[in-house]
Chains A and B, each alone.
Chain A
């Protein structure tokens, strides 16, 4: 079992997954932020591989990617930073990025380097299920990496089951068909969707992402799933911060409040 699987084996509720872009706001902030998030009580970290054309991300994350790339961020550096953080923390780390980056790095080499750097799982939003099954499933599972696929309110039940079958670790539940950071709050029709998926009895735990930005929306998401993913709101907090470690501590405490789980 990798760290993601171990996490869900011991905890099925109130999972807080925080996203940030590697190399943002400063090139050398990655390790610091990972350690601060761990210390503050985040359950899981989704580390973004900055990309020039992040189609599934909104302006906030796109902007952070541009800054990181301008800072000189590369995949090689990302693996080094993750490796350094891994020496001092056991928090599960999921790498999120676009498939072109994996292709150019060399797929097998990429998966190997993930493992060497202590990465536990992958989210590759533009890797289709079909291509995954055809070409990459065995490589990824042999490497011992988890992979999480996405579902949206438009995903039909049969496809949700397929996503559940192919995902390991958790299923990424897009709260609304929107790009990250575009909406705030959760509407009634989203709740109906959360309930509908909750009743399907999937084998994987679910984490809800997109539109989760504060304690209120996090707690609401936790009522319908194992936890939630927060990205854009945290990037905004980092962008305004004088001290990124303090910002990470304050942010997670603001989300967890007093109800911080063990």
Chain B
């Protein structure tokens, strides 16, 4: 059974390696999150917002042309149709309700692609709470539309200018902010990373994805369990949500797709399960990319949401125990998959999600297999990148 223990460990991964300055906040969360999430009133409010505000359930769509192309039954879980355009809002809706119950007045968040930042800014507007989003200076440049959206929603976007100026550094800055504001602030982490209880809490909020897949697939295909679930993994929140209710269903293959950047061994990559070793990042014992001296390596991916040098402890555990398979996809493979899906199904996926689609070319499957691809986000935010590379791909006939 895949389970988390009292101290936040999935097997040997997890825990809470935090400085004492964060202890009071993390402990408050640890002691309360399960109790709050299990309150019937909380559950009702959360479900109502997911339905009426986010637009859930999201469709489970049998992609006919894609299925024909690959010779399998491929269903797309349409998280891209959520309000704000990605799965991220499932978690932020949950955490904003939790922050309210803990009496917090100020919300901070980190963001990579900007999807989590937008989802946080959105729920802060909804709840009337102050919102500060930390974002790497590099990401601010490559995700300009999302920066504008966050500001329009009333959030302050603060650039993280340390390190590689991407998601890792934005996370560091958000943690520092929390250390400096220990009493009135809640930190909405956007992925299944960070100290316990974040990985478990975020996975639970995202688990609505696999909960819906089960009954939707049962209705459409006559069985609850698919054969394969494919999801992209940066920190791993959409994958955690898509895998959650199948973790103990051994017949369901779980495929975690990472960003290989310019190639796994090019030095410009974010393929943590291949390049990573055991260590600590952002308060969690997990797999991360680091030097032999323990310095965290700057990752690279064309997709800001996958440009992270670690993976959540749940995924580290799933991969280490063989429960999940990892696949690595380069920038160009992801772009090609993005263009392909656009033409085949009329859906422009987020670049992160495009990595999951590219993995369909890499994994083994049988002709009748039911494969679910978690379509975690839509590609509007990535149009500039898609457009910039489009000509090159056309010329190459890809």
Q: A residues within 8 Å of B by Cβ?
A: 51-53, 55-56, 58-59, 62, 66, 69, 74-75, 98-105, 125-128, 130-131, 149-152, 154-155, 159, 163, 174, 177-179, 182
Contacts and interface: CB of A to CB of B under 8 A. Distances in A.
Contact of A149 (B20, B182, B283): B20
B163 A53 contact: yes
Interface in B23-48: 23-24
A55 B175 contact: yes
Nearest to B28: A154
A256 B7 CA distance: 45
Contacts of B279: 100, 103-104
23 contacts: A52-B296, A53-B168, A55-B172, A74-B293, A100-B279, A100-B294, A101-B293, A102-B294, A103-B280, A126-B19, A126-B283, A128-B17, A150-B20, A150-B21, A152-B23, A154-B23, A154-B182, A155-B24, A159-B23, A177-B180, A179-B21, A179-B176, A179-B180
A188 B281 CA distance: 36
B306 interface: no
Interface in B273-325: 277-283, 290, 292-296
A80 to B, nearest CB: 14
Interface residues of B, number: 33
B162 interface: yes
B22 to A, nearest CB: 8
A101 to B, nearest CB: 4
Given A55-B282, A103-B278, 12 more contacts: A53-B163, A53-B281, A53-B296, A55-B176, A66-B163, A103-B280, A104-B279, A104-B292, A126-B17, A126-B18, A128-B18, A177-B180
Contact of B280 (A100, A150, A155): A100
B23 A104 contact: no
Nearest to A178: B180
Contacts of B21: 56, 150, 152, 154, 174, 177-179
A100 B23 CA distance: 18
B16 interface: yes
Contacts of B292: 104
B9 to A, nearest CB: 11
A56 B175 CA distance: 9
A126 B180 contact: no
A53 B172 contact: yes
Interface string B154-170: 00000000110000100
Contacts of B172: 53, 55
B25 to A, nearest CB: 8
B235 to A, nearest CB: 15
Contacts of B163: 52-53, 66
Contact of B290 (A62, A99, A100, A127): A100
A125 B283 CA distance: 11
Give the 10 A-B CB pairs with smallest separation, nearest first. A104-B294, A154-B24, A150-B20, A56-B19, A177-B182, A100-B280, A101-B294, A52-B295, A125-B19, A52-B296
